[in-house]
Amino acid sequence: MMEPKKEIGQLREEVRFHLHRYHVLDDPEIPDIEFDALFDRLVQLEHANPDLVVSDSPTQRVGAEPSAEFDEVVHSAPMLSLDKCVSGDEIQAWQDRCARILGEDVSSYVCEPKIDGVAVNLLYEDGVLVRGATRGNGEIGEDITSNVRTIDQIPLRLLGDDVPRSIEIRGEIYMPLAGFHAYNARAVKNGEKPFVNPRNGAAGSLRQLDPRVTAHRPLSIFCYAMGRCSDDFRPRTHAEVLAAIRKWGCCVNEHVEVVEGFKACITYIERVVQDRVSLGYEIDGVVLKANDFAVQERLGSVTRKPRWAIAFKYPAEEVSTVITAVEFQVGRTGAITPVAKLEPVFVGGVTVSNATLHNMDEVSRLDIRLGDTVIVHRAGDVIPQVVSVVESRRPPGARRVPIPRKCPECGTALEKIADEVVVRCPAGMTCVAQRKEAIQHFASRSAMDIEGLGEKLIDQLVDQNLVKNTADLYRLRGEDLVALDRMGTKSAENLLRSLSESCDTTLAHFIYALGIREVGEATAIALAERFGDLEPLMEATLDLLYEVEDVGPTVAGNVLSFFEDRENREIVSALVAAGVHWPIVEGRVSRPCFGETWVLTGTLQSMSRDEARTRLRNLGAKVTGSVSPNTTRVVAGDDAGAKLARAEVLEIPVLSEKDFLTFLGSHESA
């Protein structure tokens, strides 16, 4: 009789082999009843020998008890987003841009369907899946390891003896149409809420706090790229990566092709369009990538988007419905946006009851009347918009849309600036709607990241006159908060703590949080790196602002106008007085630790963990909470534990507190 340890090992290998044949190759070698017998025997043996259970066993896909929240994961290599195009001319223009940079045409492209799902990053170390994370904002995602482990198409252990020591495999988790329809049929039958569309089904399933729920959702994955990888795997092309990860047991889309030249790309796109309805899963376009990694490196990236890839987006679906009313919303910058209220209609996989009309000129151009039948277009598969009126269906006596002359929220006379199509309320923060929007933007994750300050709470704070501007947030007291609806003592303490923690920020985040018109995250970073601190930016002239990458006359004018406004300057001063601070930014090139990843562990006697983190960030380092093969150095204080042990195993340089102080002293003065 075979000893349990040996039999368990053999059974795991057999089960992994047959799972790969079934889920990845779609070519099962044995009938289901035989596979079930193998699997059940493995379960039986592991149950009888719990000390032999390992995390990558095929029996361990359904994870532990529910988590209270998802931890943050800092991506070692950013998960970039793609530029988009909608026509052959735009693809040609993209290829021409690449050719100008390279001095020659791109010779080889990888073409693949653009899966409409959720991007994830899977980290394998020594072939074993150790972490799964969402894309998040591209830099920071959420740890969903327990959930991705429940998906059969994701191998818990890569196959083969040539697997890299450490590799990130990136993919798109999606819900196949058959599984989507079957799940919804069961949900309706059981009186439960069905999914709106497969993508929302996939996203919601991955964010379940209980992995046992995820395990019962019909999810799958297509792997499409490699992130950070140890140097024992050095492919020259993207096609080599796809071939390798397919060999190691990952699902790669069968419709991926390597083609040569512009015409072949267009032919591929046209063919996938024709096959779209029969794929069995939803796609929203095609991704084109330069195949050669040397070419990718020469082309580089701009504003978090690679120049070497582009996403061709299919035209969004269009349907007709009836406008029942038009409302006017006030945005953060005072812009008045007309919004059409619609008879609900299903378009692009979503039930839509509102659609943007963009601006007053668009209402006039379309000659929209209440009761009109209109064509609704789901632009970019995200924002529904009214694109035309079906005049032949206009009811008798249909009334024109009354265009407001005053702000619908505060009653201030509206203004339209020359050369702008947008009508604005000039009241600024005295307009309740603008105040609420400005505070919501200020508190957002990409700005000051004030956890717990949601829309409903902001409504209460503003409506009860507790907050008149963003600086007032830092004057809130516990007694102010506990008097609000659904705010207990614990919630109030958590919000006050979050406000205090938000004071430790970066200059880029603070600039973005101010809500200057046309200044997005990328522009805020560029301004921070050019001026280094807030005061030089506040005093900058137009000529100096023009020197910043991606800053043109409009943005420069908006920045200048913002800081010339007395009220804005007072709010900025009040925020600084409240304790909001950031490290001075030195140019990327001059920061000695730029591109490095550091980890702090244990207790430092000479400074707080926050101070150490800030000083490292000032030197350009990224400071993370976990040790990985991509960690550059670890600072170990007193009572350092598991992180120090892991650093030693991975042979990552470790600095004592004394060494760390010496390092800071020599580099901060440089």
DSSP letter string, 505-558: --HHHHHHHTT-TT--HHHHHHHHHHHSSHHHHHT--HHHHHTSTT--HHHHHH
CATH of domain 428-502: 1.10.150.20
pLDDT value, residue 589: 43
Can you tell me the mean pLDDT for 545-552?
83
Query: What is the rounded CA–CA span in Å between residue 471 and residue 664?
Result: 33
- In whole angstroms, how far apart are CA 397 and each of 369, 370, 372, 400, 577? 9, 10, 11, 9, 59
**What six digits make up the tokens of 419?**
């050369």
Reported in sequence order, the residue ranges of 135-278 that DSSP labels E, i.e. its strands, are 140-142, 166-174, 220-229, 257-259
**What six digits make up the tokens of 342?**
């619609």
User: What confidence tier does 28 reach under pLDDT thresholds 50, 70, 90?
Assistant: low
Domain covering 318-409, topology: OB fold (Dihydrolipoamide Acetyltransferase, E2P) (2.40.50)
Query: What is the rounded CA–CA span in Å between residue 624 and residue 649?
Result: 18
Query: What is the rounded CA–CA span in Å between residue 250 and residue 160?
Result: 12
User: What confidence tier does 516 reach under pLDDT thresholds 50, 70, 90?
Assistant: very high
Count of residues for the chain?
670
Query: What is the rounded CA–CA span in Å between residue 366 and residue 63?
Result: 54
More confident residue, 282 or 277: 282
| Domain spanning 83-313: CATH 3.40.50.300 | no
Can you tell me the mean pLDDT for 280-284?
87
**What six digits make up the tokens of 170?**
């990136």
Contact 339, 354 (CB under 8 A): yes
User: What confidence tier does 442 reach under pLDDT thresholds 50, 70, 90?
Assistant: very high
Location of each CATH 2.40.50.140 domain in the chain: 318-409
Query: What is the rounded CA–CA span in Å between residue 89 and residue 404?
Result: 40
To the nearest whole percent, how much of the chain has pLDDT over 90?
49
Give the active site residues: 114
More confident residue, 632 or 188: 632
Q: Which residues, including other chains, have CB under 8 Å from residue 50's CB and lie 6 or more apart? A: none
Query: What is the rounded CA–CA span in Å between residue 17 and residue 176?
Result: 23
In 3D, which of 345, 344, 342 has the Cα closest to residue 370?
Answer: 342
Helices (H), ranges, 207-357: 211-214, 238-247, 262-275, 293-299
Location of each CATH 1.10.287.610 domain in the chain: 4-60
CATH superfamily of 592-668: BRCT domain (3.40.50.10190)
pLDDT at 137 over 80: no
| Domain spanning 507-577: CATH 1.10.150.20 | yes
Query: What is the rounded CA–CA span in Å between residue 411 and residue 349?
Result: 38
pLDDT at 22 over 80: no
Q: What is the pTM of this model?
A: 0.50
Q: Which residues, including other chains, have CB under 8 Å from residue 575's CB and lie 6 or more apart? A: 470, 471, 474, 510
Q: Which of 304-318, 380-394, 654-668 has the highest mean pLDDT?
A: 654-668
- In whole angstroms, how far apart are CA 337 and each of 303, 329, 393? 28, 5, 26
Location of each CATH 3.30.470.30 domain in the chain: 83-313
Strand arrangement, sheet containing 257-259? 83-85, 309-313, 283-290, 109-115, 257-259
Q: Between the CA atoms of 72, 76, 77 and 81, what dihedral angle is there, to the nearest 10 degrees?
A: 0
pLDDT value, residue 370: 94
**What six digits make up the tokens of 657?**
């507190």
Location of each CATH 1.10.150.20 domain in the chain: 428-502, 507-577
Domain covering 4-60, topology: Helix Hairpins (1.10.287)
Please, how many CA atoms are within 13 Å of residue 624, restricted to the half-sphere of its CB? 24
